[in-house]
Amino acid sequence: MTVILETDNVVKTFGGLTAVDHVSISVQEGQIFGIIGPNGAGKTTFLNSIAGTYKPNGGHVHFLGQETTGLPSNIMCRRGMARTFQISQPFPKMTALENVLVSATFGNKPGAVRNPVHYAHEMLDFVEFPMPQNTPAQSLNTVQLKRLDLARALASKPRLLLLDELAAGLATGELGDLMDIIRKIRDSGVTIIMIEHIMRVIMGLCDHLAVIYYGEKIADGPTLEVAQNPKVAEAYLGEEYDL
């Protein structure tokens, strides 16, 4: 198995607060790697420290065999790392297609996408975008925006896709469809790291879990093993929670 991403003791502080405290993970190519933990644990900050949104204050990040610690997000994107945000961040006045076109045009190495318009259409079809592709992003609802987020991320042809609570805000009936699309992305050869809270999504998709609690990684292993770890159940879900 090939390691696609490795973090070694990554630290991120905000003033006196250590939001990410020496977190090390190793993600294998082809995995769906879940990151779980309570609100405010540092999950998003950790993702931001990998993807170039933040420069870590300590530690190292290796992606596709090269050190990428502290490289900005535009470089990380062109090196094959794409992400979605906890709250969708489309260009609101542009259409869905134009939003994806931005990524297909600028998110890749020059020449990697021969026909960006065609490719943007293809990506919206791939995520089964449920609206006309010329709908302005500002008139999309949460479900439609999540699909758009995925299409935009995929249009940069990532090797690794980071998803930050993609399923949050969706009705139960919509989760199955979203899970099918995430599996389809994985089957197309893209490795996935996902921050997730919804147990059905975590247990149904993730091969491996890392648990972050007050900035520190407290468990890491195959999903079933981690889910049955009493320390995790207590820290993350409360003593009463029954998995």
Ligand X SMILES: Nc1ncnc2c1ncn2[C@@H]1O[C@H](COP(=O)(O)OP(=O)(O)O)[C@@H](O)[C@H]1O
The residues that touch Mg ion, with contacts defined as CB under 5 A, are 44
Residues 45-64 that bind ligand X (CB under 6 A): 45
Among 40, 65, 176, 222, binds ligand X (CB under 6 A): 40
| 42 is an interface residue for ligand X by CB under 6 A | yes
Least distance CB 206 / ligand X (angstroms): 16
Alpha helices in 52-194 (DSSP H): 73-78, 96-106, 116-126, 142-154, 172-187
Enter the tokens of residue 127.
């995520």
Total residue length of the chain: 243
| 41 is an interface residue for ligand X by CB under 6 A | yes
Least distance CB 37 / ligand X (angstroms): 6
Among 4, 31, 36, 44, binds ligand X (CB under 6 A): 44
The Cα diameter of the chain in Å comes to: 55
Report the C-alpha gap between 220 and 217 in whole angstroms.
7
Cβ-based nearer residue to ligand X, 19 or 163: 19
With CB under 5 to 8 Å by kind, the binding choice for 45 among Mg ion, ligand X, none is: ligand X
| 14 is an interface residue for ligand X by CB under 6 A | yes
Report the C-alpha gap between 40 and 124 in whole angstroms.
32
Whole-angstrom CA distances from 197 to 48, 203, 205, 209 are: 18, 10, 12, 12
Positions in the binding site for ligand X (CB under 6 A): 14, 17, 19, 37, 39-45
